[in-house]
Structure 1
Amino acid sequence: MMTREDLLKLAKRLDITFNCVVHFEALEEKRGYDNGKQFPAELYKGGIQKRLLDNWFSKEPNIYTLGDGYNFNAGLAGCEWAAFLRVRNPDAVVLRVYPKDRTAGAEHILCQLLSSLIYNFATLVPGDFDRVPDLWKRNFEVLAQGGAQGISAGLRILEALPPLELRGRKILCIVDALDLAEAGNTSDEVKKLTAVLRRILARNSGHLLYTKAKQHKRLI
């Protein structure tokens, strides 16, 4: 058997290496909506809120991608939506991750996103569960080394996580700037990540939202 605490100890190493999105920011940040803040008027009037609501209230697990509009930034919209939803639906689980270093190469950005997803999903697994080989310490060490092998190890870890312990709560996973992780040598790995996330959210009856990043000059 393996415990949630065992998994969190392994995931903590990833935070040291990749500066993961911390638990508060990923799962609890409310940005003032609990003090009466209103959802941005430009997003409401532009129909963005309705599109996000339609995604959230869909009866079947689904995937939605939000790109920049002429008067809004998709990443900021996703950030505001996560905070808004946590207050309006306090029983929901809203997980949002993003790469903190957007100037890095595509492989490093993908490792950042993988690590943040693992680091925060680990807080949602059961207290104890069956140990499987892909959750052994070695895979976490390989992921921390980065590169193509690190990405492959990260995908195996993510795929091997047990069903989440949600106790009937709905879950939304928001991944911002995954498009920055896609280059010629990482395109297949990005596709694999989206497939793994699709399976995780499907077996947990959750929804997946991608918010595209504004393009910045970065290393390839």
Structure 2
Amino acid sequence: MAGSILKRAFGTRTMTRKDLQKLVTELDAIYKCVPYFLAFEDKRGYNIGKQFPEHLYKGGVYKELQDYWYSPRPGIHTLDRYNVFAGMAGCEWAAYQRARHPKAIVMRVYPDDRTAKEEHILFQLISSLICSFSTLVPVEFDKVDGLSKRNFEALAQGGAQGIEAGLEILESLPEFEVGGRQFLCIVDALNLAENKDTVADVKKLKAVLEQILARHNAHLLYTVAKPRKREEDFS
């Protein structure tokens, strides 16, 4: 009897990885979070002899990314080349590194629909980051207010409160279990989430994300997609 009482009392102060991932499931249904395989495991044939795309070699993208990957200190890098499709560069580099550095953590998130409105892309990227990061947290950790069901519901509902809730969830995640491994996080086409109404929120997301990855001594790579034509461009 005493043991069950202690267990319940202890349980109110802890949370498990499974608890967190149950909350993430609802986000996946709404925002189509990047699947685990594509976020962490897709090697696209590089493990069976595929070569890095020739035009990325010739364009200098390979050298730029290689220099960044082997830089003495992990940090933030932005690949901003409109002559290279950002999604291709990010996707190929992630797969290439997974095959060549199987012990490293190589994570990539991207907009599922690049034609969607900026706010939706922002929500999809925030949700995909939460979804992917949730697989790196400890099996059990201290419960905090930021990881409440209320915040996940607000994020699922969207709007300004949803963005605040999403950022609070990210900030509240416990330390990841990376075990000293190299850690690379690629965020493709974050610029497609920007317009006059969302630019401040994109900056907040970048600040939160950069703090998280700095704590884990991780590389953070942004790829910049070619801006879309907007209706006002033709007016």
Residue-by-residue CA offset, 1:15-73 (whole Å, 9 max, x unaligned) = 00101100000110110101110111111222211111111112223111112343x21
Aligned partner of 2:165 in structure 1 is 153
Q: Which 10-residue stretch deviates more, 210-219 or 98-107?
A: 210-219
- State which of 56, 61, 75 in structure 2 corresponds to 1:48: 61
1:74 partnered with 2:74: no
Q: How far off is 1:167 after superposition? A: 1.0
- CA RMSD, 1 decimal: 1.4
- State which of 107, 128, 142 in structure 1 corresponds to 2:119: 107
Q: How far off is 1:219 after superposition? A: 8.6
Q: For 2:33 and 2:110, how far apart are their aligned partners in 1?
A: 9
Q: For 2:231 and 2:163, how far apart are their aligned partners in 1?
A: 18
2:86–2:189 contact (8 Å) kept in structure 1? no
In the TM superposition, 1:111-150 aligns within 5 A as 111-150=123-162
Residue-by-residue CA offset, 1:104-133 (whole Å, 9 max, x unaligned) = 221111000000000010001111111100
Q: For 1:140 and 1:58, how far apart are their aligned partners in 2?
A: 37
1:33 partnered with 2:46: yes
2:17–2:135 contact (8 Å) kept in structure 1? yes
Q: For 1:218 and 1:20, how far apart are their aligned partners in 2?
A: 25
Q: For 2:174 and 2:69, how far apart are their aligned partners in 1?
A: 23
SS of the equivalent of 2:138 reads coil
Q: 1:11 to 1:19 in 2, by over 3 A?
A: same
SS of the equivalent of 1:123 reads coil
Aligned partner of 1:196 in structure 2 is 208
Q: For 1:197 and 1:3, how far apart are their aligned partners in 2?
A: 22
Q: TM-score normalised to the size of structure 2?
A: 0.90
Q: Which 10-residue stretch deviates more, 91-100 or 53-62?
A: 53-62
Percent of aligned pairs sharing the same letter: 61
SS of the equivalent of 2:103 reads coil
Q: Which has the larger radius of gyration?
A: 2
1:24 partnered with 2:37: yes
Q: For 2:24 and 2:71, how far apart are their aligned partners in 1?
A: 32
1:64–1:208 contact (8 Å) kept in structure 2? yes
Aligned partner of 1:172 in structure 2 is 184
Unpaired runs of 5+ residues, structure 2, are 1-13
What amino acid is aligned across from residue 26 of structure 1 in structure 2?
A
Q: For 2:174 and 2:153, how far apart are their aligned partners in 1?
A: 20
2:82–2:225 contact (8 Å) kept in structure 1? no
Q: For 2:226 and 2:128, how far apart are their aligned partners in 1?
A: 20
Q: For 1:129 and 1:121, how far apart are their aligned partners in 2?
A: 14
Q: For 2:31 and 2:207, how far apart are their aligned partners in 1?
A: 23
